[in-house]
Structure 1
Amino acid sequence: MSAWDGLSNAAAVFQLVGVDAGGLIARIRQAAQTAHQNKKDCEILARRVDTLAELLPYLQEREQEPVAMRSLARLEEMLSEAHDLVMSCQGKGRTYRFFKGSGLADRFRHVERTIDVYVSLFPMVSHIAIASRLDNSASSRSSSGHSHSSSRADGEEEEEEFTLAEITAATSNFAVVLSDGDSATVYKGRLHDGREVSVKRLRPGRPGAEDAFFTEVAILRPIRHDNIVRLVGSCAAADGERIVVTHPCITDGSLYDHLHSHRTSSSPVTASWKARIQVLLGTARAVKHLHCHAKPLIIHANVTSSSILLEATTSAGWAPRLSGFGASVWRAAGVESQAVEVVAAAGYADPEYCHTGHLKPASDVYGLGVVMLETLTGQRPVVTVWDDGSGNMVPMTLASFATQSILDGRLLDVLDRRPVSNPTTCQLEPLQLVANTAAQCLCFHGDNRLPIADVVANLEQAFHLICTRGHF
């Protein structure tokens, strides 16, 4: 359905809060088409508004719910400001001079950022749907004593809504810790039907934890991919507990653990180039699914070695499962980048995003490029090097440390020697292909980075070379 097909529905929804959304959106579009000044800015802003029109019809099902009403009310000021802004560009009258004198370009960026942030937190109204569903399900769960499942129109597996008591029982009172981070702790769990699951318990009170919870649940609900964790259910207890339950239960740790932790120094992943490239290939396929096939399309915004969980398979291989979707965003329709606030892990920050504040799919490609360097070099995303000028050890990103050696054809200078101490020229060929791919993922400008489809193709070729030659 196009944005304009939904305008009548959008108008009906907005009338509930006293806003003529359909009329405002139509006037914004018309004003953008006839603007005499800042025409490109007006057209970009109109496309942002189109995104709102496309999302709004999905709210009709929940138009009487308090959460939906509050979210809709926030849009009145946003649309009014957008309308005033594009109207100011119809000529060089007093209004135009006022806006221009106070920074017209900055005002466009402000409104665009406001809309993009709103869309990123509230795409396809999943945030409202989940929040209201979890809030309203407590009484029905307590009356039955069992978790409820939300039905899916497409016949897929149902998502369960767990009570805190059920989670406590499934984890044996949170006994087995799989991983522990600043934002959450992940525990091993076993459900009543025997399924082993990962139970991610967010730290209460952490800034942004509530949004991260609803975003992760909303993003993961429709995703079905072999290299992405699968949502089983969630728990939103009255005392503020926020828990996400995913399958399968990953007890083998993350790629970061295998590459950098002392306790996994004898890891089969660490010891095998075939296993390492297999993990990179599966991760790239997961990112490609998000960028090209998910509905709606998704920017992960947190592709790191810590977010890549590893599962040993029966075929003696390793299946990576991409996780960590709390910072992910849906891609807004008709825009190349989105002005959203993302806090990147040290060493993974996309330099273009840091410069512009605009997130794009290429930001995920940059993160994947850093992960490739970690896998090739065995080094952490931030390394310490000797600085002759200061006479001290100083921190440097792995991207800065290793990329120049790769571009100069000196891969051996930075290559991890744990799998093979003295690789032959034949053995180096697939690794050089991976290294060159990583370097192309780390360009400053996102438009110069490899498309994710090309990254997948290169990794497939490298993996094929390793498998057919059998030298590893």
Structure 2
Amino acid sequence: MALWGGLEHAATAAQLLGADVGGLICVIIQAAAKARQNKKECAYLARRVFMIAELLPHLQDPEVMRRPEIRRPLAGLDDTFREAHELVMSCQEKGAVQRLVMAGRQAEKFRQVQSRIDSYLLVFPFISHMDITRRLDRIYRVLLLDDASPSSDSRIHELDHAEEIAQEVVLHVNGGEGQKFTVVELETATNNFASERLIGRGGVSNVYMGRLADGREVAIKHFPQAYYRSIEEFDAEHTILSLSHIRHDHIIRLFGCCMEIEKISWFVKKRVMNVLVFEYMKNSSLDQHLHGSLSSSSPVTTSWSMRMEIPLGVSRAIEHLHNHAERPVIHRDIKLSNVLLDAAWVPRLSDFGCSVIWDERKCSHLPIVGTTGYLDPEYYATNTAKPGIDVYSFGVVMLEVLTGRKPIFVD
């Protein structure tokens, strides 16, 4: 399924190139699988073609493809793919004499086509660099102040937009991992992780409210390094949220991380700091508004409209994880306390420490994680994680929001 999803995106991007590249990729891969001779060369060629298929979605932005310096290096891609298709088709079953006559000629053609395809693969990093430059240029234009500057409200909106673009550039440059923070920066932001800054406590982590040097309010999630499980959850959350395709309006936003490693000896290293830095959610968690200290005066408890909008946002986040990520992501711990609300009461799904990228083979016989009352009984019985376990947990969340009762209660 991932293959065909990638080809669909490739076809979309190919339309911008004015070529039937998506269709050609598809038939090349199919023909290579049926090759009767030169199987190794055909398989290698198909792999290189598919690598281009995976890179083409990065060209879906029409603004990128309108630039001649980006279109020009990709000229002739469709012709190269047509030649590649003819080549793998010629490797279907033929007579022994014809195979002997064609062998030398085909070997040379394989070298030529592979060389041209490799030259296209080299182009993509440069296109990515051009795109980053374009984003930075947009920030520069927004920040240029002159005598004909717009109204203050419009300027504030543009600056907010510039900040969003800047964050995209940081994530792009760092491979999706975001900003690298130092221990000193985070200690300063939290007043040395003072107890009065503590805003949340999990099984293996503590969350502090902090203010960075640039004025941003952030939530700083500290994982004590003494526990193996805390390192495991840090790695899982950092890995999942660093994936560029995970970003969504209803998923918590990762700004960056801090991983300090201390060298114990020449061959032993030890982590001494594991911290993730998130956007700060001003209105706490949904759990606090339904069952906690905020319930008596919360608009969540008084407005049915808001009660419906919040689960709707969570459902969109889950749907994005399951259907729009490159590979489905299973959250494994959907519950009220993991639904956070920003200053505008927009819900954000958080806490990806138990999350896994779905692989049918690897997700069998996993250790059971999650919260009692929200766990799918089938998951509990089989130790097999599937995307459906998140749907079950979300159903429990829906009932909890509608009835105001916890999953486990006593009358």
Q: Identity over the aligned pairs, expressed in percent?
A: 41
Q: Deviations over 1:254-278 (max 9, x none)?
A: 1111100134321111111111111
CA change 1:271–1:152 in 2 (3 A) is closer
Match of 2:384 in 1: 358
SS at match of 1:178: strand
Following superposition, the deviation at residue 299 of structure 1 comes to 0.5
SS at match of 1:228: coil
Q: Deviations over 1:31-76 (max 9, x none)?
A: xxxxxxxxxxxxxxxxxxxxxxx9xxxxxxxxxxxxxxxxxxxxxx
Match of 2:281 in 1: 250
Q: Deviations over 1:89-115 (max 9, x none)?
A: xxxxxxxxxxxxxxxxxxxxxxxxxxx
- Considering Cα pairs closer than 8 Å and 6+ residues apart, tell me whether 1 or 2 has the greater RCO: 1
Match of 1:193 in 2: 214
Match of 2:314 in 1: 283
Match of 2:180 in 1: 161
Residue identity opposite 1:353 in structure 2:
Y
* Contact 2:240 2:352 (8 Å CA) reproduced: yes
TM-score by length of 2: 0.53
Match of 2:353 in 1: 326
* Contact 1:301 1:342 (8 Å CA) reproduced: no
CA distance in 2 between partners of 1:177 and 1:166 (Å):
17
| Structure number with larger C-alpha Rg | 2
Following superposition, the deviation at residue 155 of structure 1 comes to 9.2
Match of 1:369 in 2: 395
Report the RMSD for the aligned CA atoms in angstroms. 2.9
Structure 1 position 240 matched with structure 2 position 263 = no
Residue identity opposite 2:225 in structure 1:
P
| Aligned residue pairs, count | 237
Following superposition, the deviation at residue 204 of structure 1 comes to 3.3
CA distance in 1 between partners of 2:330 and 2:199 (Å):
26
Structure 1 position 298 matched with structure 2 position 329 = yes
CA distance in 1 between partners of 2:177 and 2:387 (Å):
29
CA distance in 1 between partners of 2:228 and 2:410 (Å):
30
Residue identity opposite 2:190 in structure 1:
T
CA distance in 2 between partners of 1:259 and 1:204 (Å):
33
Q: 2:248 aligns with which of 220, 225, 234?
A: 225
Unaligned stretches of 5+ residues in structure 1: 3-53, 55-148, 386-472
CA distance in 1 between partners of 2:171 and 2:302 (Å):
43
Deviates more, 1:351-360 or 1:374-383: 374-383
CA distance in 1 between partners of 2:276 and 2:174 (Å):
22
CA distance in 2 between partners of 1:372 and 1:283 (Å):
10
Following superposition, the deviation at residue 215 of structure 1 comes to 1.0
CA change 1:336–1:207 in 2 (3 A) is closer
CA distance in 1 between partners of 2:387 and 2:340 (Å):
21
CA distance in 2 between partners of 1:152 and 1:246 (Å):
13
CA change 1:150–1:285 in 2 (3 A) is closer
Residue identity opposite 1:379 in structure 2:
R
Structure 1 position 384 matched with structure 2 position 410 = yes
SS at match of 1:168: helix
CA distance in 2 between partners of 1:320 and 1:233 (Å):
21
Q: 1:184 aligns with which of 194, 205, 208?
A: 205
SS at match of 1:265: helix
Q: 1:213 aligns with which of 234, 257, 273?
A: 234
Match of 1:346 in 2: 372
* Contact 2:189 2:213 (8 Å CA) reproduced: yes
CA distance in 1 between partners of 2:203 and 2:171 (Å):
33
Match of 2:339 in 1: 308
SS at match of 1:312: coil
* Contact 2:329 2:357 (8 Å CA) reproduced: yes
* Contact 1:336 1:360 (8 Å CA) reproduced: no
* Contact 1:232 1:245 (8 Å CA) reproduced: yes
Residue identity opposite 1:231 in structure 2:
L
Deviates more, 1:180-189 or 1:365-374: 180-189
SS at match of 2:297: coil
Following superposition, the deviation at residue 219 of structure 1 comes to 0.2
CA distance in 1 between partners of 2:193 and 2:334 (Å):
27
SS at match of 1:201: strand
Unaligned stretches of 5+ residues in structure 2: 4-49, 51-167, 262-270
CA distance in 1 between partners of 2:310 and 2:198 (Å):
23
Q: Deviations over 1:346-370 (max 9, x none)?
A: 2111100111110100100011011
SS at match of 2:410: strand
SS at match of 1:374: helix
CA distance in 2 between partners of 1:158 and 1:244 (Å):
10
What does 1:81-96 align with in structure 2 at a 5 Å threshold? none
Residue identity opposite 1:281 in structure 2:
L
CA distance in 2 between partners of 1:326 and 1:158 (Å):
16
Following superposition, the deviation at residue 251 of structure 1 comes to 2.5
CA distance in 2 between partners of 1:154 and 1:338 (Å):
35
CA distance in 2 between partners of 1:220 and 1:177 (Å):
23
CA distance in 1 between partners of 2:230 and 2:275 (Å):
11
Following superposition, the deviation at residue 182 of structure 1 comes to 2.6
* Contact 1:184 1:201 (8 Å CA) reproduced: yes
SS at match of 1:380: coil
Match of 2:225 in 1: 204
CA distance in 2 between partners of 1:366 and 1:187 (Å):
31
CA change 1:150–1:243 in 2 (3 A) is farther
CA change 1:158–1:351 in 2 (3 A) is closer
SS at match of 2:347: strand
TM-score by length of 1: 0.47
Residue identity opposite 1:290 in structure 2:
L
SS at match of 1:338: coil
Match of 2:296 in 1: 265
Residue identity opposite 1:200 in structure 2:
K
